[in-house]
Chain A
Amino acid sequence: MCSIDLPSRCCRLIALCLAGLPLLAVASWKAGDTLPELSGFELEGKLPGKLSGQVVLVDFWASWCGPCKASFPVMESLHKQYRGRGLVVLAVNADEKSAAMEKFLKQCPVTFAVVRDAAHKLVAAADVATMPTSFLVDRTGKVRFVHTGFHGEATRKLYEKEIELLLVESDGSPKP
């Protein structure tokens, strides 16, 4: 874009400013990150009592998101299947209005924990790339797997495989 007669310093300055902009937005949780203390995010609703030492599936969803709706029955069945072995499912709603979430939950009742991130603090901290996005956290509190979107049976199988793997770990390291 810069013609030859423009000083290269100026071109570099402009290029640096433009290239640096996307970096401001990249801060999403990834495998290896530690799940932050959720009580500091002003979430509406009751958080599950004990998360430490458990395998946690944190799922970000919204009532207007079709794949989120499709994922709920799967998460409910995972919750029922694995809760006795140490899985905690936590669905974090990002709706603007609580009425939208409540309407959704009436149509799609679930028994796992649902909280609402009204201030969008947690979802912004996670900086999810799409809705839904879920994070599988191991017993040491580290994010181990990230799922973006929901792809039906394929995602369900992946969830089962990964949850089984994390449940048999006692301290975050795979069993020999």
Chain B
Amino acid sequence: MKTKLLLLAAAAVLLATGCVNVKPWQRGTLAEPIMNPDRDPIGEAQAEHVFFSREAANGGRGVGGGGCGCN
């Protein structure tokens, strides 16, 4: 029981060390335009259309459709 508890404590500490804060001065790469998923509205709309058509999800992403890609 004691070993299990120690292992649990060690696992909790190890998992906690996996949490890394990116410091404000290290965010240059994150701030690049390429990191913005909405940087190209036309490309985004096309990707959305393909996504919900391929998924064949009726009403996927708020648009009606049965997966034909025709609307």
Contact = CB atoms under 8 A, between A and B. Distances in A.
The finding on whether chains A and B are genuine partners in a shared complex, rather than unrelated, reads yes
Interface of A: 6-7, 10, 13-14, 17-18, 21, 25, 60, 62-65, 94-96, 100, 120, 123-124, 127-131, 133
Contact of B25 (A13, A21, A60): A60
B24 A14 contact: no
Contact of A10 (B8, B21, B27, B31): B8
Contact of A95 (B5, B6, B9, B28): B28
Contacts, number: 49
Contacts of A62: 25, 28
Contact of A128 (B6, B24, B31, B32): B24
A120 B8 CA distance: 36
A131 B24 contact: yes
B70 interface: no
Contact of B9 (A17, A25, A130, A133): A17
A6 B8 CA distance: 11
A63 B27 CA distance: 11
Contacts of A13: 9
B28 A6 contact: no
Contacts of B31: 64-65
B61 interface: no
A14 B28 contact: no
Interface string B1-27: 000011011001100100101011111
29 contacts: A6-B5, A10-B5, A10-B6, A13-B9, A14-B8, A14-B13, A17-B9, A17-B12, A17-B13, A21-B16, A21-B19, A25-B21, A60-B25, A62-B25, A62-B28, A63-B28, A64-B28, A64-B31, A64-B32, A95-B28, A96-B29, A100-B28, A123-B25, A127-B23, A128-B24, A129-B24, A131-B24, A131-B27, A133-B24
